[in-house]
């Protein structure tokens, strides 16, 4: 596959440089390490800092959600690889305004290991940290093992809620509680139609024959729960929607937020076709869609496919979603 890059080994650093040059009013690097990006006005005195991070290849996920009303900083790894503990620690110091720092990121082994190490380093500097893990991928583990689920696109809801809580001056425990509440009420499932092509090797990250789809696929190509012939958009919507409704225990009268997310190579037109059926299913079930997001929010390079995230809403969750926010890739309010 043809790619618009220079040297593959420079791909991540040059991408980060491009983001900072394009959005200097929103983000900057706090030091010499280009793999750390913070909001332009960080640190903010007496406000909780929020640090996220993970591998590259998922833009706008991680890097695209640093800004007002969202995350304070991001530590950036190579493609599909964790950032280092030192990078996370440096990001922590850069956004600590004296009220503590929340670590909010996806539930992947390498990320957990390095964020935990960074928390130990922060403790030595008298910086209080708390951790909330995104774990919304219902296909990765059954309900009784939800604590072990992978974190995927649904973490966007948690970024929004935690960022809004921090912006209004909530304590570290309160910001963490807001994020945890969102995570516990979010469920996501994805469908893959084609693999990603890694820029460092030029090779596909997994095999998926022409004419086939994989339901429940992970954002790095982790195996899903069903592989078979490609179905219609309406049939796919049914396959994604029903398990999420069941997992969240949704029933008639409940309110939800819906995120139809493109994986990187699916036209926006197709995402709206998918949303159309999701919305109709919600109506049939007596669910009220209060918030809707359609577009690319968490990608896997050029994987074709989509994911569907549902968030069960109450008045507080909706208020946090509606709060103003602004980053290079997100606007709200």
Q: What ranges do the domains of the chain cover?
A: 8-185+323-332, 187-313
Q: How much is the average pLDDT of 139-150? A: 96
Beta carbons of 149 and 140 less than 8 angstroms apart: yes
Tell me what the pLDDT averaged over the chain comes to.
96
* Half-sphere exposure in the Cβ direction for 90 (13 Å, CA): 17
Superfamily of domain covering 187-313: Dihydroxyacetone kinase; domain 2 (3.30.1180.20)
C-alpha–C-alpha distance, residues 257 and 20, integer Å: 31
Q: What is the pLDDT of residues 274-287, one digit of tens each?
A: 999 999 999 999 99
206 falls in which pLDDT band (50, 70, 90)? confident
- pLDDT at residue 122 above 90? yes
Give me the CATH code for the 8-185+323-332 domain, please.
3.40.50.10440
Q: Catalytic amino acids? A: 58, 220
Helix 233-248 to helix 268-284 angle (10° resolution) is 50
């Amino acid at each position: 596959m043809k790619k618009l890059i220079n040297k593959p080994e420079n791909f991540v650093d040059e991408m980060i440089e491009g983001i900072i040059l394009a959005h200097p009013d929103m983000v900057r690097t706090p030091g010499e390490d280009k793999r750390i990006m913070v909001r332009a006005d960080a640190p903010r005195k007496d406000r909780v800092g929020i640090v996220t991070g993970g591998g590259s290849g998922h833009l706008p996920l991680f890097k695209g959600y640093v800004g007002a009303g969202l995350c304070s900083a991001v530590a950036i790894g190579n493609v599909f690889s964790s950032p280092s503990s030192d990078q996370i620690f440096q990001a922590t110091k850069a956004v600590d305004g004296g009220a503590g720092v929340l670590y909010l990121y996806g539930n992947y082994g390498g990320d957990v290991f390095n964020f935990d190490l960074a928390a130990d380093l922060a403790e030595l500097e008298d910086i209080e940290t708390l951790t909330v893990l995104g774990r919304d991928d219902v296909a990765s583990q059954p309900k009784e093992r939800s604590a072990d689920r992978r974190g995927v696109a649904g973490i966007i809801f948690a970024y929004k809620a935690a960022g809004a809580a921090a912006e209004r001056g909530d304590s570290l425990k309160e910001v963490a509680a807001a994020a945890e509440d969102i995570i516990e009420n979010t469920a996501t499932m994805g469908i893959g139609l084609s693999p990603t092509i890694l820029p460092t090797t030029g090779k596909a990250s997994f095999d998926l024959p022409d004419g086939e789809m994989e339901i429940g696929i992970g954002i790095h190509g982790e195996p899903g729960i069903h592989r078979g012939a490609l179905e219609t958009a309406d049939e796919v919507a049914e396959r994604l929607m029903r398990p999420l409704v069941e997992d969240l225990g949704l029933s008639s009268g409940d309110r939800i937020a819906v995120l139809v997310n493109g994986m990187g190579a699916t036209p926006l037109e197709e995402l709206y076709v998918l949303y159309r059926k999701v919305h109709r299913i919600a109506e049939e079930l007596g669910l009220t869609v209060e918030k809707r997001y359609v577009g690319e929010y968490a990608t896997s390079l050029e994987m074709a496919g989509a994911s569907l995230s549902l968030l069960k809403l109450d008045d507080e969750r909706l208020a946090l979603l509606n709060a103003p926010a602004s980053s290079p890739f997100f606007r709200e309010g």
